[in-house]
Structure 1
Amino acid sequence: MRAQEITFLKLVQGDKQFQVPLYQRTYSWGREQLQRLWEDVGELVDQHLSGDTAAPHFLGSVVLAPGQIQAGGVQRWLVVDGQQRLTTLMLAFTALRDHLKDHGETRAADRVHRQILVNEFHEGLDHYRLLPTQADRDAYTACVTSRPQAGGGDNVGAAYRFFRGALTEGHEATADQRWVGAVENALKDLLSIVEITAESGDNVYRIFESINNTGVGLSQSDLLRNYVFMLLPRRGERIYRELWLPMQQSLGPKNLELLVWLDLVVRGHHKTKQSEIYREQQKRLQPLAGDEDALQREIAQLAERGQRFLRIVEPQRETSLPLRTALERLMAWGGQVHYPLALHLLDLVDAGTTTPDDAAEALLFVESYLVRRLICQTPTAGINRIMMEAPKELETDRTAAEAVRRFLSGKRRRWPGDEELLAAIRSKPFYWSGRPPQRSYILRRLEESYRPTEPVDFAKASLSVEHVLPQRPAQAWFDLLADEAEEGQSPQELHDLLVHTLGNLTLTGDNSKLSNHPFQRKQQILDSSALRMNLEIASSERWGKAEIMARADRLAERATILWPGPVGGVKPAAAEEWAGWAQLRAALVAMPSGTWTTYGDIAELIGSHPVPVGSYLGSNSSVIGAHRVLTAEGKISAAFRWPEGSDRQPPRDLLEGEGVRFDPSGRAHRTQRLTAAELATLLGKDVLEGAAEDPLPDNENTAAAERFRNQLQEHCPEAVPGLLAALDFWRAQGGHLRYGQHEETSCFTMLDAGTTHTPNLMWPFAIYPISGTVEVVFQYLKHRAPFDDTEQRRELLSRLNKIDGIELPEAKLELRPSFPVRVFAGHSDAVCDVLDWFVHAVALDLARRG
């Protein structure tokens, strides 16, 4: 066996092929792992462009075993371990090649293709430097060979689309012409891999087991502790007992690790990654070796900082009421992004160089910065870096609050001013912003701004976000909206532009009672609410566009007071592009091949209107995926034109090549359309519509079941016998039913597929009786074994598609495609066969996992 550290370029160069054995699992990296890798690449690129010496980033190891060598052929290597890293990097290079090609850099694109992706002088399967498992092979080779199907709905396609989007966004965000070249350099030469190659006869699987053993490794703080106390031969035992052990016990392992990292950040080492804590602290402390007095002071300072950090994660420890309130609000907001700045401010308070009130005001500006960016849907990229830079960059000749406000108001730090905030509240789909707790937090703070004489105890109240204008409205709502729709705008399009905006959202504990009732019924329920904002809504005579916009303006006025803006109320520069267009481009790149969307869906997603969306794409038709945006009827717009001189195929030919079907009248097939909610999901937004993680309490299930049956009987009477028979069959197989809180009484076919130690609740279907649809929830199944394997989801899709009336596009293997409830009218037995297969597939996986 031989091991060496090597760059990715040196690993893959030459006439060689890396073969993933057919028995290995399919490619499984998701957005979280891809984002982490891209952030690491971004740091290497920044260092390179700033002239700093960029140390290689260690990516991990690959274990290779020699395969057959054919005369005149390629050297084959079996990938025993590391296929996820290899596949990811190959897909990153595929996206880079296509990005270069789109920007006219044909020679650079050709270089990447020949140097990394293929064995230039070999044909057939030997042509590919990486050969994934058979399950992933078509999707991967479609990307490498630039076939129209590249970027499909599986994990391989999703990774390719992720890198296409990341490259597009990164290129748009920088004015440096060297940026793309720096990305290529980082991917080729600055990602370090340990190549472990076995000799013939070596037991490669024993090597694999030793690398992936189940032992718990030492944490960064463990390594630091061992190093420090090695330097304290005389005082070590006493210092450990008096300082280190109490700190370790009060913080716990995870918070101690965070503290050791934050200690570096607030000292000015803001580029330090959490994986590099030990190395950086060792470098800082090494000059003190032999000076036990100095080392003792260092540990004492860390322990003191640990007590301050406890006040951040447990704000009730803070004695100053204003400062405690500010810390509590940031903890309620969630996340750790504020930790470096909060710790620095507590350092200043305890040193006597600022007051608790001043630190509290500074933290209010941090809260405002986070809230305003979320409401305006400002991209989150770089926000961690900004907060980590703050302790070092704050001006010291001003109060802490003023210094923080001025720092966050910097031109490139994108703190939205009042004008931008108002526009976002009126038009952006707030319900898709941030995470659910953050959306609830903003509504809670707005409610508290009414200063009621008997405030609600939010800690005890069970409240959820309610759409006053429902997500799935009955016809009476559309009749109301028809009076306010603009010329050429349908009531449905107006509904979609309004429904998720902040002006239409409130908090309530009566979500299931409110449902999609007419406004008059909602008024009666809201009028008995303890929340002032609900009483205000109930006082309206009707609820349409005018009322939603008026409420948006009132909430915006409150928001500007609650969350003060940047110094001078910074406005985007006149030449600065509106952020919605960047989101439009990201959405089009994220679309799997074989799908299409409409101008209205894009408008709903970005908080605009179909007309300006059409105008933008009309003048920027070179945008990747522009041909996938069609009219509301699913037709190619008569105004669509490729840029002059383009040799691209007509849009319909391109779409058909990607797998989109058209009827004789030129309409694209409706099942292949991506709605605004589906686009938001692909962009990583937390879209909760109809999610089964928010079921009704078990004690309300009986009444909910009756409501579900009544709604089903009213709206889909012909499907009632077949659907109820299928639900009985599901229960007989060991499943159970749950009913959702959202608008109409949805029904979820639940199955507990977990072990004693590992819960694994899953559900194949979500059934909506009023809209008459059955969602197949691939979006959730992809995170649950065995359907985290793309092939298992594809098999489920294939079995369902054999039933008349069901047409689920393969491009939606990450989403929630649907079929009509009426299928149960004539094919209930066939659906039951699929459910039976589903239960057996889960049982087999459960048996395998023990």
Structure 2
Amino acid sequence: MRAQEITFLKLVQGDKQFQVPLYQRTYSWGREQLQRLWEDVGELVEQHLAGEAAAPHFLGSVVLAPGQIQAGGVQRWLVVDGQQRLTTLMLAFTALRDHLKETGDARGVDRVHRQILVNEFHEGADHYRLLPTQADREAYTACVQSRAEAGGSDNIGAAYRFFRGALAEGHEAGDERWTATVETVLKDLLSIVEITAESGDNVYRIFESINNTGVGLSQSDLLRNYVFMLLPKRGERIYQELWLPMQQSLGPKNLELLVWLDLVVRGHYKTKQSEIYREQQKRLQPLAGDEDALQHEIEQLAERAGRFLRIVEPAREPSPALRAVLERLASWGGQTHYPLALHLLDLLAAGRTTPDDAAQALGYVESYLVRRLICQTPTTGLNRIFMEAPKELETDRPAAEAVRRFLSGRRRRWPGDEELREAIRTKPFYWSGRPPQRSYILRRLEESYRPSEPVDFAKASLSVEHVLPQRPAPAWFDLLSEETEPSQTPQELHDLLVHTLGNLTLTGDNGKLSNHPFERKQQILDSSALRMNLEIASAQRWGKAEILARADRLSERAVELWPGPIGGVKPTGEESPGWAELRAALVAMPSGTWTTYGDVAELIGSHPVAVGAYLGGNSTVIGAYRVLTSEGKISPSFRWAEGDDRQPPQELLTSEGVRFDTWGRAHRSQRLTAAELATLLGKDVAQPAAHDPLPEGEDAAAAERFRTQLQEHWPDAHPGVMGVLDFWRRQGGYVNYGRHEETSCFPMLDAGTIRSPHLLWPVAIYPVSGTVEVVFQHLKSRTPFDDTEQRRELLNRLNKIDGIDLPEAKLELRPSFPVTVLAEHGDEICEVLDWFVGVAALDLARRD
């Protein structure tokens, strides 16, 4: 084997083809890996544009083995290892080519297509520089050929859509050189080690040896080994007195985090955690031979470890004020604030600030994070802001003032009071951040009432409750119909209000409250120990006016709890974050789907009319033609930009796979709701408790509630559903139930071992609403259904049954079909479930 470091352009140029062997799994990179790569690309682009010397970014290795060479054909290479990054970069270039087409750069389109994507003078399979494994081939070639179905629901399509969106947003924010610089970075500044096997080498053995290695040394392990190699005389004593106690108190993960933070607070804020050892080695190398200096460095690190422990375990902090805010930030979760918090504790240790000043500074950090979450400000660049802070803070003023001034910088997006008030009224707070963060904000708002007998939140088992229910009974819609605007339905008004902060509270009686009328909820809330619930219970009714009035009251509390930036006025002409989120949502839509103006408005906290006006004035927005009226029709006001020669919107949607009836209405099953759009954006869309099975096995009381509800609401379906569940038990599964008022049912399968639990369930059955959800969103994260082909096979088998019509574009979501299908086609459903159990059993045997 031979190895050489090479740029991506040099790797792929020439008449060659990279073939992914069938024994490799399908393309599997998700949003997290794509985002990490794009952040690295973004840093190189910024450095290049600033005229800085940008060192190539090392992506990893690609192991290739020579394939067959035919006379006059292309040189074929088998991709033994590295297919994920190779495929990802090819998809980035397909997106770049299509982005250049959107911007009118015909020469750029031609250049990227010929240089990177295809072997220009070859046809058929030889035409493509990359030929993925067969399961991915159709989706990949659709992107390369710019076919209508490009950007489907599988991982290939999702990666293509990710890069289309990233390029569109970057182009919007950058100058005229930005796109060209991205092309330069992708071609020439991403470094790959090309490892080439010789003819006759056993490529299967190479693949196994690469992918079956033991646990490697961590970055902190490497640093420890290097440091103590430089301490031949004092090493044993320093290890026992300093390093070992630090290692034992922190644990491996936190020690590695500390070694990285040590670099960040020293000003090396661009250092990635994968580069800790290299950067620390570079810093310490000049001290080789000076054991006094090296001992001093380890002493400093050990002292910093003690301060870091107060951040991760706030109970260790002696100052009450500082301890309180550190506890709040620990409750908030995440590590974003660590660099700045550690820097402030360093200043405190050096006598350059006071505990109260440091506490106030961290209070501004809390406010910054909370306000951004409520206003749904994109988190892009958030980690970098806090990594830059230790180096950028002004040193000639108190720490709290310096932190507030730093976070108030225009590009750091700290929402002011008016933006906060508007977001509380309109944004779907229930989809903001993570569930613990939403609960934290509601808890802090409750504490602001300063009750004489405060609730012990550590012991209370509280969850977020929608006062206006997510699935309201008809009486609720009768109430909302009194407050609808012209041409607005009660359902549309419900969707705009239901997830806003004004409609949410905390309760331990979520299951009891359910979707009962407000009068019944009043009785339950009136006995609550929470002041905010007593306030809700005192209302005479609960509709739009009451929800908005409560939102305004909560806004005043939020403004007082979480102070805003200096100035606090949104700069004139600055775009609302909602429009960026709208563009991201439309890019995230798989081909073959559509949505409505109301769904987009619900997602971003706007109004359908405003969404229509924005898209009407920006018809070049990617995917704008996929936004239809509530009936599923093309809006009469939709127009392509002048000079755009694309097909009429309905024809284009039809070519992508959207079905229309004779009245020009798109098929409802292919519509993406606001919740589904939020899921595609990676938001933590909390499902009602009914969507989660109870942790125990079969529960007799819950089973009886499920049977009773099914018999009451769908009596004709009852025998068929019970028959399907009995079949499932005979196949080795069991049945679990939800904890909500509508007692949902889950056919569960334990496809794991004692050491490695692995629960699967193919569907969720709802006995009141009469729907059966196919839980692709759940299966996507569990083997073997993390493979798109397995989920697609499940979808295809179900779709052969009359009454089931699941769109392929929802392979990452939770599409549904009527519960009556289980009664009318029970035998066919059982055949699908039998196949499901068999696939899971094969996977378990493979893992064993």
Q: Which TM-score bucket, shorter chain as reference?
A: over 0.9
Aligned to 2:405: 406
Residue in 2 that maps onto 1:225:
224
Contact map agreement 2:261 2:339 (CA 8 A) in 1: yes
Q: 2:47 is paired with a residue of what secondary structure?
A: helix
Distance 1:696 1:204 in 2: 46
Contact 2:689 2:739 in 1 (8 A): no
Q: TM-score with structure 2 length normalisation?
A: 0.98
SS at match of 1:4: strand
Cα distance in structure 2, aligned partners of 1:244 and 1:149: 57
Counterpart residue identity of residue 140, structure 1: Y
Indicate if the aligned counterparts of 1:472 and 1:744 stay in contact, CA closer than 8 A.
no
Name the structure 2 match of 1:158. Answer: 158
Structure 1 pair 391–742 and aligned structure 2 pair: CA distance change class (3 A)? farther
Q: Show the counterpart of 1:674.
A: 672
Amino acid at match of 1:63: V
| CA-CA distance at 1:22 after TM superposition | 2.0
1:804-843 CA-partner distances (Å, limit 9, x unpaired) = 0000011111111111112123112211211111111111
Q: Which residue of 2 aligns with 1:62?
A: 62
Secondary structure at 2:804 match in 1: coil
- What is residue 321 of structure 2 aligned with on the other side? 322
How far does residue 43 in structure 1 lie from its aligned partner after superposition? 1.6
Alignment correspondent of 2:794: 796
| CA distance in structure 2 between the partners assigned to 1:137 and 1:553 by the alignment | 53
Structure 2 distance, partners of 1:642, 1:411, is: 34
Over 3 Å counting, the alpha-carbon distance change for 1:691 and 1:843 in structure 2 is farther
**1:423-455 residue CA offsets vs partner (Å, 9 max, x unmatched):** 000000001111111111111111111111121
**Equivalent position SS for 1:343:** helix
The equivalent of 2:845 in structure 1 is 847
> Taking structure 1 as reference, are residues 693 and 770 closer, same or farther at Cα in structure 2, changes over 3 Å only?
closer
Deviation, structure 1 residue 697: 5.7
**Alignment deviations for residues 472-500 of structure 1 (CA, whole Å, 9 cap, x no partner):** 11111111100011110000000000000
Q: Deviations over 1:446-472 (max 9, x none)?
A: 111111112111111111111111111
- Among 759, 765, 781, which residue is 1:767 paired with? 765
Query: What does residue 418 of structure 1 align with?
Result: 417
Find the aligned partners of 1:97 and 1:632 in 2 and give their Cα distance. Answer: 34
Q: Equivalent residues in 2 for 1:420-459 (5 A)?
A: 420-459=419-458
* Per-residue Cα deviation, 1:362-392 (whole angstroms, up to 9, x for no partner): 0010000000000000000001010001011
**Aligned-pair distance for 1:710?**
3.1
Which one-letter code corresponds to 2:359 in the other structure?
A
Q: CA deviation at 1:702?
A: 3.5
Provide the C-alpha distance between the structure 2 equivalents of 1:776 and 1:273, rounded to a whole number of angstroms.
40
Percent of pairs with identical residues: 83
Work out the CA distance in 1 between the residues paired with 2:436 and 2:99: 37
1:513 is paired with a residue of what secondary structure? helix
Are 1:757 and 2:740 counterparts?
no
Note if contact 1:715-1:769 (Cα within 8 Å) is conserved in structure 2: yes
Secondary structure (helix, strand or coil) at the match of 2:716 reads helix
2:42 partner letter:
G
| Superposition deviation, residue 699 in structure 1 | 9.2
Q: CA deviation at 1:204?
A: 2.2
Question: TM-score when scaled to structure 1?
Answer: 0.98
Q: Contact between 1:97 and 1:113, CA under 8 Å: does it hold in 2?
A: yes
The 5 A counterparts of 1:31-180 are: 31-174=31-174, 176-180=175-179
Q: How does 1:733-752 map to 2 (within 5 A)?
A: 733-742=731-740, 744-752=742-750
Tell me which residue corresponds to 2:712.
714
1:376 aligns with 2:375: yes
Tell me the CA shift for residue 211 of structure 1. Answer: 2.5
TM-fit CA distance, 1:691? 6.6
- On the 8 A contact 1:470/1:743 being kept in 2, the answer is no
Q: Deviations over 1:133-186 (max 9, x none)?
A: 111111000000000000001111111111111112222233x22221221122
> Which letter does structure 2 place at the counterpart of 1:799?
R
Alpha-carbon separation, structure 2, partners of 1:213 and 1:47: 37
Q: Is the 8 A contact 2:690 2:740 kept in 1?
A: no
CA distance in 2: counterparts of 1:69 and 1:546, whole angstroms: 73
Counterpart of 1:724 (choices 711, 722, 725) is 722
Alignment of 1:343-362 (within 5 A): 343-362=342-361
**Equivalenced residues, count:** 848
Q: For residue 634 of structure 1, report the CA deviation from its aligned partner.
A: 0.6
Pairing 1:567–2:592 present: no
Q: CA deviation at 1:249?
A: 1.2
Instruction: Give the aligned partner of residue 593 of structure 1.
Output: 591
Q: Distance in 2 between matches of 1:501 and 1:199?
A: 62
Give me the whole-angstrom Cα distance separating, in 2, the residues matched to 1:649 and 1:346: 61
Q: For residue 204 of structure 1, what is the aligned residue in structure 2?
A: 203
Look up the match of 1:537.
536
Q: Contact (CA 8 Å) 1:65, 1:78: kept in 2 or not?
A: yes
Q: How far off its partner does 1:694 sit?
A: 4.1
Q: In the alignment, which residue of structure 2 is the partner of 1:664?
A: 662
* 1:522 partner SS: helix
* Amino acid across the alignment from 2:159: A
Any conservation in 2 of the 1:511–1:741 contact (CA below 8 Å)? no
Amino acid at match of 2:623: G
Distance, in Å, in 2 between the alignment partners of 1:632 and 1:214 is: 54
Counterparts of 1:301-340 in structure 2 under 5 Å? Answer: 301-340=300-339
Counterparts of 1:210 and 1:5, CA distance in 2 = 21
| Aligned counterparts of 2:457 and 2:436: Cα–Cα separation in 1 | 12
Q: In the aligned structure 1, how far is the partner of 2:691 from the partner of 2:225? A: 43
C-alpha separation in 1, matches of 2:736 and 2:426: 34
Shift of 1:510: 1.1
CA contact (8 A) 2:599 2:674 kept: yes
RMSD (Å), alpha carbons: 1.4
**Higher mean Cα deviation, 122-131 or 752-761?**
752-761
Q: Is the 8 A contact 2:691 2:764 kept in 1?
A: no
Q: Distance in 2 between matches of 1:144 and 1:562?
A: 52
Equivalent-residue separation in structure 2 for 1:272 and 1:148 (angstroms): 41
2:775 maps to: 777
- Does the aligned pair in 2 maintain the 1:689–1:742 contact within 8 Å? no
Paired letter, 2:590: P
**Offset, 1:755:** 2.0
Rounded Cα–Cα distance in structure 2 between residues aligned with 1:699 and 1:14:
59
Show the counterpart of 2:518: 519
Measure, in 1, the Cα distance between the counterparts of 2:601 and 2:490. Answer: 15
Q: Distance in 2 between matches of 1:705 and 1:442?
A: 36
Contact 1:19/1:77 (8 A) holds in 2 = yes
- Name the structure 2 match of 1:819: 817
Bigger shift: residues 214-223 or 488-497: 214-223
Cα deviation for residue 709 of structure 1 reads: 2.8
Q: Distance in 2 between matches of 1:422 and 1:741?
A: 34
Please identify, of 343-352 and 816-825, the stretch whose mean Cα deviation from structure 2 is larger: 816-825
Q: 1:834 — aligned with what?
A: 832
619-628 or 763-772, which moves further after superposition? Answer: 763-772
Aligned to 1:625: 623
Gap runs ≥5 in structure 1: none
Once residues 692 and 280 of structure 1 are traced to their aligned partners in structure 2, the CA distance between those partners, rounded to angstroms, is: 49
Counterpart mapping for 1:485-524 below 5 A: 485-524=484-523
Deviation for aligned residue 1:705: 2.9
Residue 327 of structure 1 deviates from its aligned partner by 0.6
- CA distance, structure 2, for counterparts of residue 753 and residue 691 of structure 1: 24
What SS class does the counterpart of residue 717 from structure 2 fall into? helix
How many angstroms apart in 2 are the aligned matches of 1:4 and 1:204? Answer: 19
Secondary structure of the corresponding residue to residue 738 of structure 1: strand
Q: Letter of the 2:554 partner, please give it.
A: L
Partner residue in 1 for 2:362: 363
The residue that corresponds to 1:611 in the other structure is 609
Aligned to 2:483: 484
Alpha carbons 1:8, 1:192 under 8 Å: kept: yes
